[in-house]
Amino acid sequence: MSTPTVTPASQRTATASLFSLPVIVAALGYFVDIYDLLLFGIVRLPSLQSLGLNAEQISIEGTRIFNWQMGGLLLGGILWGVLGDKRGRLSVLFGSIITYSLANIACGFIPQVTFMDPITYYALMRFIAGIGLAGELGAGITLVSEVLPTRLRAIGTSLVAGIGLSGAVVAYFTVKWFDWSTAYFVGGGMGIGLLLLRVGVVESGMFTNVAADSSVSKGDFLSFFTNQSRFSRYMKCIGIGIPTWFVIGILATFSNEFGQALGITEPVQPGLAIMWCYVGLSTGDLASGFISQALASRKKAVSLLMSFTLLASLIYLFAGLKTAFALYMACLALGFGIGYWAMFVTIGAEQFGTNLRATAATTVPNMVRGLTIPMTLLYQYFKPGSGTITAGAIVGILAFAIGFYSILTIPETHGKELDYLE
């Protein structure tokens, strides 16, 4: 087969596609999504301290609120995924951002809450925010995957994630420059502002064609569990992502506890650890698309980055880090390793036909986020008897075992055409 000739005109067309309105809007939407998603992890200590909780209560209640948010993501993933295939990708982008923007604004009023227990109110608002946050990435990745040429898909989705993940850095510095309640107001305000940008975005042509055919079943979430091939692909898509939230939900979120266990004398700030993790993650996501293109394989690219993450996790837990700076740099390396996040969501979108694609791409990453709940519970269960390091290692062994099995056995999707039905 002859290699297509790359002309200046085709290069300009490729550049125009990569920086088209759907890609820009999806990237900015994910930027706000990540800002709001990680904000609780960044403000967990200062916000709960301001509500009068001691260190032990912060660990227990902080985990509970975090798990309520992740539970919202789990339920929201199913809701928005089904709606994405039934109503369209754009309806999800609009509906989800309104939901999480209003919930984040409501979080800014926590210090003034007197009509109920502020901690319960906090958990409820993070649950609602989680439902809203569940729709952004899957719908955006699905839309971008369907509007870009096949050869640009990996790079386009990596651009969306790479730019979007920098929202974590902005979240950290917003909290630094202002205070935690103002940071929630800023996040909600940015979300409302994004709605104006979305007015000019058009729906995916693939979805429009399917939507016109009433005989096609669209957004049937249960169909992932009624066919052995679909079930296997779906569960492996979820399995690939589990190590990413082991890093974010355990190693970065509870970095202050790991710092103490490692004997680091200076206080480790979880917000700063999360920020460095996402600096690495943003860089890794940008690189993953180009790695996938160079290797002509999604599986090889993800396996390479997952192996790097495993090595960085072993260094984090067992290399005897002695300073907070060393721990933050380990988080930076861990973040780069889990930079296959966009590739993992793209794999989820590519594994299924147009009538189930948004459901898969939206539910898969949120199933992974939801699995952070049993990971944190397992970590908290083993920590009193085994210690922080061993508890983290046990969760990590399970996460990486599932991750490697899933990526090594899932079908390759590099270069796969997406205009088909399940």
Domains of the chain, first to last: 19-205+222-409 (1.20.1250.20)
* Residue, of 277 and 357, whose pLDDT is higher: 277
Q: Which pLDDT band holds residue 169 (cuts at 50, 70, 90)?
A: confident
Q: Is the pTM of this model over 0.85?
A: no
What does the block give as tokens for 166?
A: 């920098």
Say which amino acid occupies 107. Answer: C
Q: Are 144 and 105 in contact (CB under 8 A)?
A: no
> Looking at residue 322, what is its pLDDT?
93
Instruction: Tell me the mean pLDDT in the region 347-362.
Output: 82
> Looking at residue 2, what is its pLDDT?
44
Residue 203 has pLDDT above 60, yes or no: no
- The region, left, alpha or beta by phi > 0 then psi within -120 to 50, assigned to residue 164 is alpha
At 131-144, the pLDDT tens digits run 988 877 766 777 77
Instruction: Tell me the mean pLDDT in the region 194-203.
Output: 62
Q: Are 358 and 142 in contact (CB under 8 A)?
A: yes
> Looking at residue 301, what is its pLDDT?
93
What does the block give as tokens for 314?
A: 């072993």
Query: Any idea which residue has 């979305």 for tokens?
Result: 198
Q: Which pLDDT band holds residue 210 (cuts at 50, 70, 90)?
A: low
Please compute Rg for the chain using Cα positions.
Answer: 21
> Looking at residue 89, what is its pLDDT?
61
Cα(93)–Cα(52) distance, integer angstroms = 37
> Looking at residue 113, what is its pLDDT?
85
Residue 418 has pLDDT above 70, yes or no: no
* Residue, of 380 and 419, whose pLDDT is higher: 380
> Looking at residue 317, what is its pLDDT?
96
Say which amino acid occupies 116. Answer: M
> Looking at residue 198, what is its pLDDT?
62
Backbone torsions φ then ψ of 353, nearest 5 degrees: -70, 170
The Cα-based distances of 279 to 160, 168, 272 in angstroms read 15, 8, 11
Query: Any idea which residue has 């079930």 for tokens?
Result: 231
Q: From the CB of residue 261, how many other CB atoms can be counted at a distance below 10 Å?
A: 17
Q: Which pLDDT band holds residue 233 (cuts at 50, 70, 90)?
A: very high
Residue 384 has pLDDT above 50, yes or no: yes
> Looking at residue 136, what is its pLDDT?
74
The per-residue b/e assignment along 267-279, b for 16 or more CB within 10 angstroms, e otherwise, is ebbbbbbbbbbbb
Instruction: Tell me the mean pLDDT in the region 392-401.
Output: 97
Per cent of the chain over pLDDT 90 is 38
Provide the CB-side half-sphere exposure for 406 (13 A, CA).
24
Cα(300)–Cα(359) distance, integer angstroms = 25
What does the block give as tokens for 103?
A: 């919930």
Residue 250 has pLDDT above 90, yes or no: yes
> Looking at residue 200, what is its pLDDT?
54
Q: Are 327 and 267 in contact (CB under 8 A)?
A: no
* Residue, of 334 and 370, whose pLDDT is higher: 334
The Cα-based distances of 342 to 110, 307, 345, 348, 365 in angstroms read 33, 17, 5, 10, 10
> Looking at residue 211, what is its pLDDT?
55
Q: Which pLDDT band holds residue 86 (cuts at 50, 70, 90)?
A: confident
What does the block give as tokens for 299?
A: 């599986």
